[in-house]
Amino acid sequence: MNKLETVQAIYAAFGSGDIPSIIEYLHPDVEWEHDMQDHGVPWLVARRGRESVVGFFQTLAAIDFKRFEPRELLENEHQVMATISVEFTMRASGREVKDFEAHLFTFDESGRVTRFRHFVDTHQHWLAAQE
């Protein structure tokens, strides 16, 4: 499976709620949200290792996705950048987010994701995360 197919498979698994399949595509010591500063948004926190990434998906239980649409996939030798249209509502507060995001996947030679990062409107996500 090439890098583009891997990212497509990750998004398909996300769409069906199959988190264990997503985790299998990750290197055991994956850097999730690498180089991200903590701005108080639970789903945008730096994590390391597969088990820690499970925690990322657990934070998404607070979100009701209305739209999650991968638009474009761009690749180079070791990375895939995806552009995503996203709309969601916070379950507790009803706050809504409509964002155009980028996701950056970095791969090792064996085809596993070693690093992942969201590029989002952090302020909009922060506002939504406030109780």
Structure confidence by residue, pLDDT tens digits, 17-52:
999 999 999 999 999 999 999 999 999 999 999 999
pTM for the predicted model, two decimal places: 0.94
φ and ψ of 50, to 5 deg: -55, -45
Low-confidence residues of the chain, pLDDT below 50? none
DSSP, res 86: E
- The alpha carbons of the chain give a radius of gyration, in whole angstroms, of 14
> CA 85: distance to chain centroid?
12
Average pLDDT, the chain: 96
